Amino acid sequence: MKILYTTDPHEDIAMLQEAGKFGLEQKVDLWLAGGDFIDIPWNLQESHDRYKKAVNELLRIREQRKFNGSLEELALEVAEQNVSSGLKQIGEDYIAMTGVAKNNMKERYKKMVKVFDEIDIPSKTLPGNYDNNELMNEIFENSLHLNKEELKLNDSKLTIAGYGGAPEWPSWIPHNLIVPFNEEIHYDKKGNVVGGRSEAVDFFRKNKSDIIITHTHPQSILDYILNGMGKVEGSNRSAGGSFGLRVYLNEIQEDKNPSFLWLCGHMHTSNINKGAKKCGKTVVINPGSLSRYRGAIKGAGTFAIIDTENKKFEKAIIYAVSDKENERIFPIEEYYITDRGFNKLELLC
């Protein structure tokens, strides 16, 4: 099976089209898209400023009242209570601007789904930490978040399971619109893990699959924060990625037939996190951002085409794509397995 894998387009529709067309030329069997379709859900700076002001005021009120609920719950409470007109307006503004953001996200998803509809490749999508899973399910109709599916393409049959989102989320998107990443890890005073739970790990343990797709990465794998060694100041706590997913990646290496391929994204501003890494029997791939404005290569997005055979990783090529006529798409890295192990070949363009 030949797979086109894109992630983090951040509304760069032109690059999404280019990658899809190239995948069609390369006769890929499946297009997997790993999330962060949205970038900034505001059409007007005035709307963003109004939302930001409401958020800052609600955060202040939450601290004063020791309110334990979400900002949305607090906004609804103050909007409905018999309070000062100024406070009531703050709640109403937050609710109104959340609605504006959701409508803007919906319109942008509609533009992006046209790319998938126009390019005749079977596709599956996953929400990132900038995305709304409800809207993606409604518009794309193929979200893999908390889903496991069996793929039957040509003579190949594979299972794939997905979990979207990330432990972090952008402050400029209303929190209740973002797909939640339900992971709570408990640390002692020195930053050592002492317990916790992860919805993603619970899901994957119950839904073993040949391929895993997550938006965020397992902690310290293809991680640009000091190459995975970054720690929260004064502790042993890692500064990036999902601890639960890293535990699960290590855990499945004891399985007779562990997931042979793990696709992720999320981190994409450095060449350190772009690429592939073999962790035991599992190959983890983050091709970097498809956006020309968000990735590690100035003025170009990146994506991957992955070859598998009999539920085994064969080869992955990471391509750069730009809007320059003389170098529209070119390969930059190739990963493959030989008897000597896992190999990387840096390609000249």
What proportion of the chain, given as a percentage, has pLDDT over 90? 66
The number of angstroms, rounded, from the C-alpha of 163 to the middle of its chain's C-alpha atoms is 9
| Max mean pLDDT range (86-100, 185-199, 250-264) | 250-264
Report residue 307 as tokens: 């070859």
What domain count does the chain have? 1
Q: Give just the sign of the alpha carbon dihedral 258, 263, 269, 271.
A: positive
pLDDT for 107 equals 96
74/229: higher pLDDT: 74
| Res. 326: pLDDT tops 90 | no
pLDDT for 228 equals 47
pLDDT class of 188 with cuts at 50, 70, 90: confident
Tokens 């899809």 -> residue: 20
Mean pLDDT (whole number) for 40-46: 93
| Res. 6: pLDDT tops 60 | yes
Mean pLDDT of the chain: 89
* The one-letter amino acid at 47: S
Report residue 241 as tokens: 């990625």
Q: Which residues contact 182 (CB under 8 A, 6 or more apart)?
A: 198, 199, 200
pLDDT class of 83 with cuts at 50, 70, 90: low
Contact indicator for 121, 31 with CB cutoff of 8 Å: yes
Angstrom distance (rounded) from CA 315 to CA 323: 26
Range of the domain at 222: 2-346
DSSP 149-183: EEEEETTEEEEEEEE---S---TTS-GGGSPP--E
pLDDT for 348 equals 55
The DSSP H or E segment spanning 246 is helix 243-251
Beta bridge partners of 196: 185
Angstrom distance (rounded) from CA 321 to CA 324: 9
pLDDT for 241 equals 84
| Max mean pLDDT range (35-44, 147-156, 167-176) | 35-44
- The predicted-structure confidence for 89-138, as pLDDT tens digits, reads as follows 999 999 999 999 999 999 999 999 999 999 989 999 999 999 999 999 99
CATH of the domain at 217: 3.60.21.10
pLDDT for 187 equals 77
Angstrom distance (rounded) from CA 240 to CA 325: 37
pLDDT for 225 equals 56
- 347 phi, psi to nearest 5 deg: -100, 140
Q: Which residues contact 183 (CB under 8 A, 6 or more apart)?
A: 167, 196, 197, 198, 199, 200, 201, 242, 243, 244
